[in-house]
Structure formats: structure tokens, C-alpha cells
Structure 1
Amino acid sequence: MGSPVYIQIHNQLRENIESGKWKVGQKIPAERELAASFDVSRMTLRQAIQALVDEGILERRVGSGTFVANRKVQEKMSGVTSFTELMQASGKRASSKTISYHLTIPSQTEIEKLQLPAGAKVLRMERIRYGNDVPLCYEIATVPAKLVEDFSKSEITSSFYRTLEEKAHLYPGHATQAVSATTATEKIATYLQIKRGDALLRMTQLSYLQDGRPFEYVHTQYVGSRFEFILEK
């Protein structure tokens, strides 16, 4: 038995994308035009398009049409991976913009999460992270000040994990992570070049060194249309 018609159309549409006939970000022809070219009903054509949308290959934009989607960055939520390493694995160039950077008194939550002694201070950084100059997430990272007292600001903000490994011979181990859905505020929308109310993935992560010490507490908001998490068991 042959494949259902909508699967055959799905495969042809995907081939158009993979062959470069339709480029990333390009709007594909209207459903009416495609249905006529395949000599099928619009309902069958929509099945094929929806399958590609579900796979993340196409994306619908309300009032604009259907476009070839940018490939989302994927993060396997096991172990600890730096943002720079994550971008490299995705074939993207990592960069960041520091919004704020200062030593401060930790909150009670930060004291508890980072197991800080009395009187300890923390370094708190507010950054926008980019892949190929496209803003992917907004983050607030908190680390024990004593841990980074011998590092320069550029060493910390450019690639904190690499600096830890190369200068202090400290190696990230595991992390605990919590992910939830939220929407962009006016401030975050401006930072991430999206619209207020757009979908965001919010992650709170506590990272530990291989010796078991917590070293980084991070709140991150990822642009939902540009990032996805892959869970491993």
C-alpha cells in the first residue's frame, strides 16, 4: 500500500526545503496555490502542512502565512553544558550582551541555593545571549563572589565555564532544572526583539561542580519559537 496522499505531499514539501528551493524564513506559496499544483483538496494540503509545522520545519504566522522555520536550538537536559558549547554544538556562534554586572548581598534564596556562609557576597549578572546574533534568551546568573574573585569581567561574561576549567581547574558536574511557560513583559520583549506577550520558556537552574558544590544559580527566559529542550531519561 502506498503512502497517504498528504504524506506524499509532506515529503515533497520537505524536499523543497532541504534542496534549498525554499529558504529559511521564506514564505511558502498559499494553500490554494499548492493544493492546485498537487491536484488535491485544501484539506489534504493542510494535513501535509500541519505535519511539517508539528515537526518544526514550517511555522504559521497569524495574518501572514506559513514560513520555513529557523531550526531551533536543542538542549539535552542532562549534565551541565555552557551556552557557548551549546551554540557550537548547534553550529551557531555564541555571543552575549551584559546588561548589569555587580557584587551584591545575596537574597535568602541565593544563600540557601548556593550554600553561602554568613556575610558572603555574590556576583549577579544580567545578560542577553545570542546565537548568530539572534537573541535567544535573557538570563540573570548569580555566582559566589569568592569563586570568581581572581577572574576578570571579560573572562566571566564571555565564557564562564571555560574560565572555571582553564584558570581554576574546576569542572561543572550536574544541575537541577525546572522549566515552565511564561510570556514576555515589555522589558524582556525589548531585549529579545519579540512582542510583549509572546511565549517564553522559563528555566531555573542550579549547577554544581564535580565535587558537589553549587556554583551557579540562573533564571533564564528563552524565546519559545527559537529554542526547545530535549529531555533524556
Structure 2
Amino acid sequence: MSSPVYIQIHNQLRENIEDGKWKVGEKIPAERELAAHFDVSRMTLRQAIQALVDEGILERRVGSGTFVANRKVQEKMSGVTSFTDLMRSLGKTPSSKTISYHLTIPSQTEIEKLKLSHDEQVVRMERVRLANDVPICFEIATVPARLIENFSKEEVTNSFWQTLEKKAHLFPGHAVQHISATNATERIATYLNVKRGDALLRMTQLSYLQDGTPFEYVHTQYAGSRFEFVLEK
């Protein structure tokens, strides 16, 4: 199985940035130019760019283009829980709508974050998470395929963490979260029932088991009008 084309482009663009071809704060070539360079459609190129934006490597500036992102000021947050448990603790009924779910080859970033060998595969799923049938966030989650080979698709997409605990007796320990602001694209606006350009909270989370093994890498975009993060010090 070969990597999806957009993942191959993602890896090449990331390598260019790490090698210093484009510096922090520098604008990268236009999508049209990059699509021609890689001989792919604008849609495929845009997928690669969006993946790098979600990882915080690139940032879009309305009316200006796409730039190599500056490192954000970071704030540590205490406590970690699943979306399902969080919503239930608030007295709401959690649910999920699966947009896509497939076995695939990981990107270079996913290999590094999840500490995978280069011959391992992952399951990547896109979901809209809801509370009382109201869409709260859109997420793209990547997990090592070996962890869920005995789980059904429904068990993974409905409540992955609970399934992991009950069926595999593996328990989440801690997570590293990066949070920033973004705006809703047309696609995400449709999923979250907001307007294009509305404010969103973007979170990247790498979750670890109690023994320190990374098991889930997630990019989530929350409807800013329906969700907030609270920090305790």
C-alpha cells in the first residue's frame, strides 16, 4: 500500500521547511504553483497544505497567502479526558457522526508522534462530535492499526477510549495539547453548522497510555461559540 498522494506532498513540504528552504514567517509558493510542481489537482495540494496547517507548521493569512508558522506561546493544561466522558460529566448526551474511516500509511509526522515503525499502518478517521445532537467539533484522529485490530469500526468511532479500556485493558494516562485560534473553512462550517469564517478553537492532542506509549494523535476544531477551555493553576 502506498501513501495517499496528499500525504506524500505533505511530507515533502515539511521536509522543505525543516531543511530551511522556507524560513519561519516566509510565504510559501501559491497553491497553483505548487500543484503544477507536484503535477496534482488544486484539491489534492490543498489537502496537503491543510494537514500542515492543522499541525501548526503552516498558517493561512486571509488575503495574503500561506506562511511558515511562528512557534506559539504555550500554556500547559491539567487533566485529560475523552469527549464522551466530558460531555456526560456536563449532563449532555454525546454522539458521533463518522465522515471517513480507513486503513492507511501514516504521514511522517504521525510516524514520529506515535513512534511507529515505517512498515506500520494506521487507522485515520474523521468525525463530527455532538452533544445533545448539536455539533461541537470536527476531528481527525489517527491511531496505530495494531491497537484496534480486534475492535469493530463502530466500537472505535463511537467511543474509542472506552473500548480501549474495556476490551484491551489499556488505560489513557496523559496528553499533550496545543491550542490556537482559526477560522472555519467552507467544509468545516458545513459540518459544524456555522458560517464560513466563524471563529474556531483548534487543538492538536497527542495522548499516551499509562505506560507512556502514544496511542492517538488528533486534530480537532471546536465551534468557538459552543465550547471553551478552562485552565486551572
Q: In which range does the TM-score fall when normalised by the shorter chain? A: 0.5 to 0.7
Match of 1:141 in 2: 141
Whether contact under 8 Å (1:78, 1:174) holds in the other structure is no
**SS, match of residue 165 in structure 1:** helix
Scaled by the length of structure 2, the TM-score of the pair is: 0.67
Q: Using the TM superposition, give the Cα deviation of residue 231 of structure 1 relative to its aligned residue in structure 2, in angstroms.
A: 1.1
Q: What secondary structure is seen at the aligned counterpart in 1 of 2:228?
A: strand
Match of 2:189 in 1: 189
Match of 2:17 in 1: none
Q: Percent identity?
A: 76
Are residues 1:100 and 2:100 paired? yes
More displaced stretch, 79-88 vs 220-229: 79-88
Q: Distance in 1 between matches of 2:79 and 2:208?
A: 9
What is residue 208 of structure 2 aligned with on the other side?
Answer: 208
AA of the residue aligned to 1:146 = R
Other-structure match for 1:113? 113
Distance of 1:111 and 1:198 partners within structure 2: 32
Instruction: Answer whether contact 1:100 1:126 (CA < 8 A) is retained.
Output: yes
Larger Rg belongs to: 1
**TM-superposed deviation, 1:118:** 2.1
Kindly report which structure 2 residues correspond to 1:46-61, keeping only aligned pairs within 5 A, or say none: none
Residue identity opposite 1:94 in structure 2: P
Q: Please give the alpha-carbon distance, in whole angstroms, between the structure 2 residues aligned to 1:152 and 1:172.
A: 20
Shift of 1:88: 0.4
Alpha-carbon distance in structure 1 between the residues aligned to 2:221 and 2:105: 23
Query: How many pairs are equivalent?
Result: 158
- In structure 1, the partner of 2:155 is 155
4+ runs of 1 displaced by more than 3 Å? Answer: none
Unaligned stretches of 5+ in structure 1?
A: 1-75
**Separation in 2 of the partners of 1:209 and 1:86?**
18
Rounded to whole Å, the distance in 1 between the matches of 2:164 and 2:92 is 22
Match of 2:37 in 1: none
Shift, 1:86, TM fit:
0.4
Aligned equivalents of 1:127 and 1:207: distance in 2?
17
What is the identity, as a one-letter code, of the residue corresponding to 1:222?
Y
Q: Secondary structure at the match of 1:228?
A: coil
Normalization by structure 1: what TM-score?
Answer: 0.67
3-state DSSP of counterpart to 1:215: strand
What CA deviation, in whole Å up to 9, does each residue of 1:178-204 have, x standing for no partner?
Answer: 000000000000010000000000000
**Which residue of the partner structure matches residue 89 of structure 1?**
89
Q: Which runs of 5+ in 2 are unaligned?
A: 1-75
| Cα RMSD (Å) | 1.1
State the distance in 2 between where 1:115 and 1:79 align.
23
> Structure 1 CA distance, aligned partners of 2:118 and 2:183?
36
SS at match of 1:81: coil
Structure 1 residue 136, shift from structure 2 partner:
0.3
Secondary structure in 2 aligned to 1:229?
Answer: coil
Aligned-pair CA distance for 1:78: 2.4
